[in-house]
Structure 1
């Protein structure tokens, strides 16, 4: 199974102006500058799909993308999902009022979106133990429904020495280790997503 099409659907400020929750969604979240946009572009093989900003914290909208998967099942040749690019967290240079609204809208989406199936928590492999990421993990674990999973994807692994990467893999045996530069880990991430979304329909 592979992604054969990915298109931008719409941006939203909150779940109130989000698209109908009629397709399974995969939310990508992480600290600002963790490489989220680059990962989405590499994963979908669409260079300009997700827009990265030179100013961390600038993206404040929830961005929705329609994703089309090609299977080898003749009876069900295509399957569909929606990737959701969430604003980066942990960047201080926004107004307090904006940050309050921003955080509330993100929390409402994560807690209340009925079609949300997967949280992909992106973590900078060079800084895997920051308090902010631990807090996000605790929050996701506290709200996660039985039909949802959390995937930990460690980005920028090409910047690690081999012994540091080996240590990280020992510490996080269930993690997925990503290098956008070398396009490593993308198959593992896609397989983890499709296995949970589609289960036995994946051929």
Structure 2
């Protein structure tokens, strides 16, 4: 029994280390964000939120990570199931700069683990009756959300992900800026619902 506990502890530590060092991303078509320490703003700018990754394996940790005081990237280590509605809130910087030198805004729910070569090694399910996306430039990547998704923010993406439910857009801007790659799918409706 002690050996099994030791193996589980070592495995968990390795997964956590791997996820943090690789940033939980495997999408080669967009900038590869990696977690960075909290940026120190210059005296003339108002700080938004720039954070490191949050590696979660409990409902409580997931809820904290998706809040407006959470992290820009939320990496799950197992299936998570909620009986209540969830909300992805807040605007976050990922620690990168764009071509113009401006901070890159991004939010990601990473429902997977990966190896050192960025190959997905496990995919997870996130189940909730409803998930509302209020964070701009957000995505769900490489796993399955089971429930109805309400998108209120611009530029939401599904990347190598599945929504087992409906996707409702609460604004025309949210609907017109939505993107989904060819590896992603939605089993239900995709429609504007104000």
TM-score strictly above 0.5: no
TM value normalised by structure 1: 0.31
Relative to total residues, which structure has the larger strand share, 1 or 2?
A: 2
Q: Which has the higher helix share?
A: 1
Relative contact order higher in (CA < 8 Å, ≥ 6 apart): 1
